Amino acid sequence: MNGSLLSLRTYPLMCLAVLLMGCAATPHRPYVRAITENLGGCKAHAIPAGARPDLTTPEISRAPPYTLHFLEFDDQGWPYKNTKTADSDALSSSEEQSDCAIADLANRLENGINVRLFVYVHGWNHSADNGDRDLKRFRELLEAQASSPGSERQVVGLYVGWNGKTSDIPLLSNATFWGRKNAAHHVSEGSVRDLFSRIKALRNHWNRPARSPDCGKPQTTSGGRRCPLRTVMIGHSFGAWVLYSATSPYILETLSGTSDLPKGTELPTTVRERGIADLVVLLNPAFEASRYEPVVRAARRYRIENYHSPLLVSITSTADLATKDAFPIARFFNSIFQYPATSDEQSIAMKHTHGHIDKYITHELTVDTARMSVDPNSEPTCVVDAQGQRSDMREMRERFFSAARDPSGNVKLDANWVRPMCGGLKLTHVGHGEVDPHSIVWNVRTFKDVIPDHNGITTLPLRDFVTQLYGDIGFAVGPGRSSEP
């Protein structure tokens, strides 16, 4: 009798799960149709006259100057195969897209060109459709970086596309959570890992001391830290999971490099410059905290005595109702058929994202209303001076860290430190438990005036904050001044 009742109770849920998985299985086609530029030896495909492809790769902007590569992966994380249509007999495969992007980067580096590489992985209900809002935002980011005066680096972007959107109908679109979350897991374990490994290989080669003696070393000259390849990787929502899952092994490698060695052992000066990226940013990440736990444990063992710019920064808004409210509900049903949690702490971590669990929070990012009220005419964004430098960003950084320098010139921060930042922002360290004030893994809680909702990831305050994090990469933690990274 009890077995019959259990079947009756679970049958509707099982039917709903099957229905939702069916919705998620909508056939998908790649949006990028052809490689039209031969960069670094990649194979270009001609587009027949009269054909109108959705996108071509790479996309080259002359003013402002940047290059954007598109790379698409299917629901199993495989590159799309070459396909034929009435418009063309030679459409590019995703594998060729990756080859072209890496060849382009390698060619620039071989010719002595310093590169600023931005990688973006879109989230749920987004794709590589030419009209997609995330793609528009990424183009705007590249334009802003390429327009920034005072930098000699060439800007290259990689837009990682996957089948994050399977329906244009709002109700059905919201119901694809399970299917798209599952797809994101497959993508994260697929060929995107090969892509990131190839990027790391380039960084390992070109940023090593034998090639670039100044890379990673604090300098007192205006030359500063000059590494040929600077890399920022950003993921949003389920795309944050794709990025985190594929890069976390390299992050763990950095964090665990000296934790079990004799006290005082230091990593080589270029270990981060040769790693997967200079900065990995997760925006409103939509994955369970139980997956984040290993990095937290490694970060707590990784003890350093002075400030280093963060390697992994996760940023979640309390106004993000998708991860705050909807995600736990979805995970409740999603975890019904999983093994039971071994503790209440684990149960919470299985159902919530780490951005909404207090014990994982390391910092809070707020708008400094006190500063803004004193100077109501405060510039809403980081100011760029006539010499092309972000003067207020640089001056505020140097003022803050100068106050924290010890007699040897190193920057040492105490728990609960507060850092005023340009753009009217304030970053506060949350000194509870074992949160090291010098940790290079940050889990930042922010609020509606910085990120208004799940998709509000292009506000000026957020852009200014990430820009300042990138600027910290070139900051000398020992005696000296900062430089353009």
How large is the greatest C-alpha to C-alpha distance in the chain, in angstroms?
80
What pLDDT does 369 receive?
74
Decide if 400 is inside a domain. Answer: no
Q: Is 378 part of any domain?
A: no
Residue 142 lies in a domain: yes
Residue 454 lies in a domain: yes
What does the pLDDT read at residue 75? Answer: 86
84 belongs to a structural domain: yes
Query: What secondary structure letter does DSSP report for 439?
Result: -
Please give the pLDDT value at position 152: 81
Question: Residue 420: inside a domain, yes or no?
Answer: no
Residue 352 placed within a domain: yes
pLDDT at residue 371, rounded to an integer: 61
Q: Are 35 and 44 in contact (CB under 8 A)?
A: yes
Sequence-ordered list of residues with C-beta below 8 angstroms from that of 45, at least 6 positions apart, any chain: 34, 35, 36, 88, 90, 91, 92
Dihedral over Cα of 271, 276, 280, 282: its sign: negative
Q: What is the residue range of 164's domain? A: 24-360+440-472
Per-residue pLDDT in tens (0 to 9) along the chain, 485 residues: 444 433 444 444 444 444 444 444 445 667 877 788 888 777 776 666 655 567 788 889 988 999 999 998 988 888 876 555 444 444 566 668 888 899 999 999 999 999 999 999 998 878 888 888 889 989 999 998 898 766 789 999 999 988 867 656 565 556 666 777 888 888 888 889 999 999 999 999 999 888 888 786 654 333 445 789 999 999 999 999 999 999 999 999 888 876 777 766 666 666 777 889 999 999 999 999 999 999 999 999 887 888 889 999 999 999 999 899 988 888 877 777 777 778 889 989 999 999 999 999 999 999 987 665 555 555 556 765 544 455 678 788 888 988 999 888 889 999 999 999 988 899 999 987 678 899 999 999 999 999 999 888 888 889 889 988 988 886 655 444 444 56
Residue 479 lies in a domain: no
Closest CA to 257 of 293, 298, 295: 298
Write down the pLDDT at residue 205. 93
Taking CB atoms within 8 Å and a gap of at least 24, the contacts of 104-107 are 104/39, 104/40, 104/42, 104/58, 104/67, 104/69, 104/156, 105/40, 105/156, 105/199, 105/202, 105/229, 106/40, 106/202, 107/39, 107/40, 107/41
**Residue type present at position 386:** A
Q: How many domains does the chain have?
A: 1
